[in-house]
Chains A and B, each alone.
Chain A
Amino acid sequence: DQQVKQNSPSLSVQEGRISILNCDYTNSMFDYFLWYKKYPAEGPTFLISISSIKDKNEDGRFTVFLNKSAKHLSLHIVPSQPGDSAVYFCAASALQGAQKLVFGQGTRLTINP
């Protein structure tokens, strides 16, 4: 029962262009969403988050969009840089289980020079 899905295992983008990573969820109780970035042999690092009362949150080159009716969120990175090459995980939590995160399978982003 995959409650958080990232349907693209990999994505390749040219440096300077926009990277768009997608995430879908099924549990309508989820009300807080996060994106993590992970390099090989390291733990995930927090990138950006969004509460369900918003539909957009921006932090520098990173913007997360939330479409509650479609149960879909996306992470936009613009402009993409070589250092952005990593695996990106989206995660979700529900108010009741606020301490527990449910992760997607991850999308491997490769930025080509």
Chain B
Amino acid sequence: NAGVMQNPRHLVRRRGQEARLRCSPMKGHSHVYWYRQLPEEGLKFMVYLQKENIIDESGMPKERFSAEFPKEGPSILRIQQVVRGDSAAYFCASSPPDGHYGYTFGSGTRLTVV
């Protein structure tokens, strides 16, 4: 029973490029969450999705960031025109339909913008 799978583990992008981060939830989990951790800080909520629906995107920056969780396939966090300040660890978590008490995090994608 695989856990939450995130890929790639490490991603290097030049300023202005696009970054795509993928997250496959645990089997049976239909809720996906994205969090960002800046250096020496805690995790900050970005977005909560269910299949084909964005439920809460209150933590998403207004521009350049988008997320989706299609009917088939992984959840994608997309960052357009990356800047140095986007360098961070991005963690995805999933939970079953009954709520976050079963939150399981993936190992994260470390994005470095050069």
List residues of A whose CB falls within 8 A of some B CB: 4, 6, 34, 36, 41-46, 49, 89, 91, 93, 97-106
Contacts and interface: CB of A to CB of B under 8 A. Distances in A.
A18 to B, nearest CB: 24
Contacts of A36: 105
Interface of B: 4, 6, 31, 33, 35, 40-45, 48, 55-56, 58-59, 91, 93, 95, 99-101, 103-108
A98 B42 contact: no
A105 B41 contact: yes
13 contacts: A41-B107, A42-B107, A43-B91, A43-B105, A44-B91, A44-B105, A46-B103, A99-B31, A100-B48, A101-B45, A103-B35, A105-B41, A105-B42
Contacts of B105: 36, 43-45
Task: Sort A-B residue pairs by CB-CB distance and give the 10 closest, nearest first.
Answer: A43-B105, A103-B42, A103-B43, A105-B42, A100-B45, A43-B107, A44-B105, A99-B48, A43-B106, A99-B100
B100 A103 contact: no
Chain A interface SS verdict (over half) = loop
Contact of A99 (B35, B55, B106, B107): B55
Question: Which of B42, B55, B100 has most A Cβ within 10 Å?
Answer: B42
B16 to A, nearest CB: 27
B99 A98 contact: yes
Nearest to B106: A43
Given A6-B42, A44-B105, A101-B45, 7 more contacts: A36-B105, A43-B105, A99-B100, A100-B45, A101-B35, A105-B41, A105-B42
